[in-house]
Amino acid sequence: MEGPFDKVVTFLTVGRTGDEVKIPLAPGMPEALATLGGRTLGGLLKIEYEATSAALARAGRMSCTLALPELSPAVVGELLMFFQLATGYAGCWYGVNPFDQPGVELAKRLMFAALGRPGYDTPPEQPEDGTDTA
């Protein structure tokens, strides 16, 4: 809630979660924990999400919720693609070319070389200060 007003909190919810984990009822639990017994872990996480989302809204803080129908490979793939597109759009919005990143070029060349891609040999190592060893 505190800090600069330059972030959006993103919540992920999942519709079908599979088996629920029940929080056991245990006699003699401290009063602060006694209300948890008998609930499910998923139910507790839902209450926490709703409370945190409401608190952010009351404080005028930005948030959004992405509701996933389930946690399956297809849905997680769609979520990753969504974030990749969002990153591309944000880069363009802020005047940064998100598709030309000189800082990752060396990693890409090393990866291609490790995969045996033609035309990509392992480049010589350079010291951390960036000076050329050749």
Provide the residue ranges of all domains of the chain, joining segments of one domain with +.
9-71
Question: What pLDDT is stored for residue 124 in this prediction?
Answer: 65
Report the range of poorest mean pLDDT among 25-29, 53-57, 101-105, 117-121.
101-105
* Closest by Cα among 18, 35, 17 to 26: 35
pLDDT at 129: 63
In this model, does residue 108 exceed pLDDT 90?
no
Name the residue with tokens 């948890």. 36
Q: What is the DSSP letter of 117?
A: -
First to last CA, the chain: 51
State the average pLDDT over residues 36-43. 90
- What percent of the chain clears pLDDT 70, i.e. is strictly above it? 91
Q: Using one digit for the tens of pLDDT, what is the confidence trace for 55-105? A: 999 999 999 999 999 999 999 999 999 999 999 999 999 998 888 877 788
Stronger pLDDT, 96 or 126, i.e. the higher one:
96
Q: Of 107 and 74, which is predicted with more confidence?
A: 74
User: Which runs of consecutive H residues, i.e. helices, occur in 1-134?
Assistant: 31-34, 41-58, 73-93, 105-114
126 pLDDT band (50/70/90 cuts)?
low
Token couple for 130: 């960036």
> What's the pLDDT at 26?
83
Average pLDDT in the chain: 88
The pTM of this model reads 0.67
